[in-house]
Structures are given as structure tokens and as C-alpha cells.
Amino acid sequence: MPKLNRLLLTGAAGGVGKAIRPFLSQLAEQVLLSDLQEITDLAPHETFRAAQLGDRAQVDALFAEPVDGVIHLGGVSVEKPFAMICEGNLVGAYNIFDAVRLNGKPRLIFASSNHVTGYYRRDETVGADVMLRPDSLYGASKAWGEALSSVYYDKFGVETLCVRIGYCFPRPESPRQMALWLAAEDFIDLCARAFDAEHIGRAIIYGVSDNDDKWVDNSGAAFLGWKPKHSSAQWRADVLANTPKADPLDPALIYQGGPWVHMGHPDD
Ligand code: NAI
Ligand code: 15L
């Protein structure tokens, strides 16, 4: 696979950013890391530039040197007051898509979330083409990013892979997280394929590994030849042994969004 010259990684100081950084030299000669939080432990192929995603001038500055691939992880990653979601995820996603449009249209990987469909039940299998049922303002903000990817492809030709990440942490701690777990190595493999593919247009897939429980139908990912190699099955016995008995009628157990369906309005 030919390497990218310069990859931009937003949200580089976050959990997923930290997990994938060690693999990015396989994808690109140079990696520009960005976040609100400064990163100082830079490898020779890495540089850092701070940017508040809600500030257009700061986002534009990330493209001062040509970028030929973007992994956009930055933004608010959990339910937070609307002002924060608006700045990081609504204005922030817009600023990234529009800067991409104006700076040579590098291919973009957008970190969406399972929470765009959190109000589907666990006994339903959800494909990437279902009507959205976000479980939170956060989930709705990811739906906005997906909508931007549509108009920026159809109208302006920006190619984006939206990855509805399930649960990308070192290991799952609950049955829900087991069903949604995404290994960082599977995510990197997915990113590599997305940059390498001849054409991706605008696609939406779920970012989950090859777990035993499958709540999502990821057949839409087949065009990338992506076959996740990891599974959460290795933690099954441990997770089940540490999962307290709960009321099966609890909405947090019925819906895919889990405890997120219990969260009230973040500004109340
Ligand atoms: P995280 O919260 O650990 O990292 C997000 C990073 O974005 C942080 O370092 C933060 O400083 C930065 N950030 C927040 N607001 C910003 C702003 N306004 N301007 C610039 N930077 C800002 O999140 P994590 O877990 O690493 O997730 C990465 C991405 O993947 C997020 O977009 C998240 O919504 C998405 N995602 C993650 C999942 C997971 O299981 N880790 C599941 C589904 C989606
Ligand atoms: C997400 O979208 C969050 O970014 C992550 O922190 C987890 O909460 C994950 O979903 C989840 O569904 O558990």
C-alpha cells in the first residue's frame, strides 16, 4: 500500500488517538497530531499543533501544509452540555469538512458512534442504512457529522468513511461493551483499507470487531475487504462473572445505547 505523505489525526490525545498512534507510521510518512491538550512525547514522524475545533482559523491552520488523509477523532466523546457539543461536534465537524473541501479534498475518516442508533433494541440487528435513533445529544451530533459527509460528497466530492465506533477501549467490562468492542488494531486495519481503496465515495459502517454477539449488520463494510481479526470472546467468562444480575426490563438492558438511555438532558 502506498503511504500517505501527511496524515492529520484530530483528537490525538484521547483514548483512541493514543491507541492508534503507534500504528500510524505504517499509513503515513508524517503524522500531524492535533488536540486541545498538548502532546509532547512525539516520535520523529510526528508533529503536534493544538487546535480548538470550534475555531475556524485554528482548524484552517492544520492544513497550512498539504494533508492527504484525515482521521477525525476530535470532539466531545460523551454526553455533555449542549454548548460543548455544539463547539466540538457541530461547529467542529463542520470546520473539518469544510477545511477538507478547500484544501485538496483529502480522504476523511469520521469517528461516528453506535449512539446514532442507540434507541434500537438489542434483539434487533441494525444495518448502517436504518433510520437514525440517537440516544443522546451526543448521538445526534454524530448524526450531524454523518449528514455533513453526505452533502460534502454529493455536492463537493469529499470522500468520507463514517465509522460508527462501538466500544474502543483496551477491554470490555460489560456484556454490552462485549457486543460493541472494537480492537484498536482492527480500527487501524480499517483506516488503512479506507485510505488504500480506489474509491470509497461516502460510506457508513459500524466499527466493531469479530465479537460473538452481533447487534449490527456490517455487510456494508465488505467493499473494503475488512475482516476484523479480534474478538471480545477472550473476556467473556470474566465479564459474565463480574456482571451483577439486573432487571431484564431495565431500558439500559433493552436498548443498544445501554446506560445512555437513562441520561437526562445534559443542561437540566
Ligand atoms: P476522548 O474523549 O478520549 O478523546 C477525544 C479528544 O478530543 C480529547 O483528547 C479531547 O481533548 C479532544 N477534544 C474534545 N473537544 C475538542 C475540541 N472542541 N477541539 C479540539 N479537540 C477536542 O474520546 P475517544 O474515546 O478517544 O474517542 C475518539 C472519537 O471516537 C470521538 O469522536 C468519539 O466520539 C468517537 N467514539 C469513540 C468510542 C470509543 O469507544 N472510544 C465509541 C464511539 C465513538
Ligand atoms: C461512545 O460513543 C463514547 O465515545 C465512548 O466513550 C463509549 O461511551 C462508547 O460510545 C459506548 O457506547 O460505550
Query: Read out DSSP for 44-105?
Result: TTEEE----TT-HHHHHHTTSS--SEEEE--S--S---HHHHIIIIIIHHHHHHHHHHHTT-
CA of 181 to the centre of ligand 2 (A): 10
Ligand 1 nearest atom to the CA of residue 18, by list position: 26
Q: What pTM does this model have? A: 0.98
Quick one: pLDDT at residue 44? 98
What residues have CB less than 8 Å from 122, skipping those under 6 apart?
A: 176, 179, 215, 253, 254, 255, 256
Residue nearest to atom 11 of ligand 2 (CA): 167
Ligand 1 nearest atom to the CA of residue 88, by list position: 18
Alpha-carbon distance 238 to 83, whole Å? 39
Quick one: pLDDT at residue 70? 98
Catalytic residue from among 94, 119, 120, 138: 138
Q: Are 15 and 169 in contact (CB under 8 A)?
A: yes
Per-residue pLDDT for the chain (268 aa), expressed as one digit of tens each? 789 999 999 999 999 999 999 999 999 999 999 999 999 999 999 999 999 999 999 999 999 999 999 999 999 999 999 999 999 999 999 999 999 999 999 999 999 999 999 999 999 999 999 999 999 999 999 999 999 999 999 999 999 999 999 999 999 999 999 999 999 999 999 999 999 999 999 999 999 999 999 999 999 999 999 999 999 999 999 999 999 999 999 999 999 999 999 999 999 9
Alpha-carbon distance 167 to 172, whole Å? 8
CA of 77 to the centre of ligand 2 (A): 7
Exposed, middle or buried by CB within 10 Å (0-12, 13-18, 19+), for 169? middle
* CA of 91, nearest ligand number: 1
Quick one: pLDDT at residue 1? 73
Quick one: pLDDT at residue 160? 98
Per DSSP, the three-state class of 131 is coil
CA of 13 to the centre of ligand 2 (A): 16
What residues have CB less than 8 Å from 268, skipping those under 6 apart?
A: none
Residue type, 30: Q
Tell how strand 28-34 and strand 107-113 pair up.
Answer: unpaired
Ligand 1 nearest atom to the CA of residue 37, by list position: 11
